[in-house]
Amino acid sequence: MSHTPRSLRSRAVLTCALLVAPLIAGLSGCGGSPDPLSAKPYDAADQISFSGDGDGRKANPDKPLEVTAKDDDSRITDVTATDAAGRYVRGELTDDGRHWRSTVPLAAGAHYTLKVSTEDSNGAPGRRTVAFTTSSAHRLLKVTFGPKAGEYGVGQPITAKLSRPVKDPSARAVIERALKVDSRPAVEGVWHWVDSRNLHYRPQEYWPAHATISVHSNLKGIRIGGGLYGGEAKSLRLTTGDRLEALTDSGTHQMTVKRNGVPIRTIPITTGMPGFDTRNGIKVVLAKESAVRMTGASIGLGAGSYDLMVYWAARVTKSGEYVHAAPWSTGSQGYANVSHGCTGMSTANAQWFFNTVRLGDIVQVVHSNGEDMATFDNGYGDWNMAWADWRKGSAVASGQSDATPADSARLRPQV
């Protein structure tokens, strides 16, 4: 029988002891209290409630979203609420972890996902995830942009017509921020409240030539105030052509037409006679009518004063001021003002002008004895308002939103 030396046996026992010791230590650790952070979160449905819980009704977007711990044995550690696009809803959690409340309005008719993390009295984590939908708004504010899509002159303002009147400055600011106008090339522009239902948008100067202008609304589902929510709005895309300007000088009886700053034609004209003086100021071509009937009765002269078919007519005011052919006054064109307010020229020149201009092009009248062109109530006189004053009509740019309502003038042709 062989014998193992004592020294080798001692080393073998020691080695085994060293190998066993870590195992014992590991078993000791597993048998003790587990690390709560490593445990799978339990279902915290019984420990919390939120304001959309219960009877299947949709959450009220007029009220904040609230999450509450039901008892003293648990607390809320984290809350995230996101909409269908993944945007977060900001909120505040109380120091004791008992209550969380959203600090921004929810959108109407929107789908949200709410994730709540909790912790029980032993520090074990809990989790609850719920989906809910907010109720649709009963009072919607719809927006209609203008003009129609297409190509326009550089003087064309953008318009927004609201389906309901809005007077509160804070509500107006919400609307303005949601109505987006982007142009390429980029220019600074501002919305101006014409009245409680109409806004106009323009840059400080005319639009750039050959620009692309995109208009859209981010208002859908947004709470505006007073139970009013943003509704649908169809986007709009415009382009501008050359910068075309017609300078009408009533003093010299000449019209100079410029394209991109370069004169391309000088036309002998006649404008309004005394008592029917043409309005001074910047106007925008509103419409083009190859033929229009004009009568003296429409401007208060009485039946039988005149009744004419007028050709190649470009309208520049709602009240009936045109640039048109006036073959009956060619002897006065370039020498005297004999019309009833319109700008008259020869048939050939009127046809050229009609075929050259587009809606939104600029017609500016100077040196007339007439009144100044109104800013809003007789067409697009927007460019006659100084930029500083224009900005005062914006609830966002200046904090002021008081605007004088404008009543549309009655349509009546003038010759």
Catalytic residue, chosen from 192, 200, 253, 342, is 342
326 vs 340: CA distance, rounded Å: 12
402 vs 193: CA distance, rounded Å: 8
CA-wise closest residue to 90 among 75, 76, 105? 105
Take residue 253 and report the two structure tokens written for it.
């009886």
- Phi, psi of 50, rounded to the nearest 5 degrees: -135, 165
Catalytic residue, chosen from 192, 200, 324, 340, is 324
Order of all β-strands in the sheet with 111-120: 42-43, 125-133, 111-120, 74-83
323 vs 278: CA distance, rounded Å: 11
Active site residue 30: no
**CB within 8 Å of 103: residues ≥ 6 apart:** 64, 90, 91, 92
Active site residue 324: yes
Beta strand residue intervals within 251-393, DSSP E: 254-259, 262-268, 281-284, 287-295, 307-315, 322-325, 343-345, 362-366
Give me the active site residues, please: 324, 342
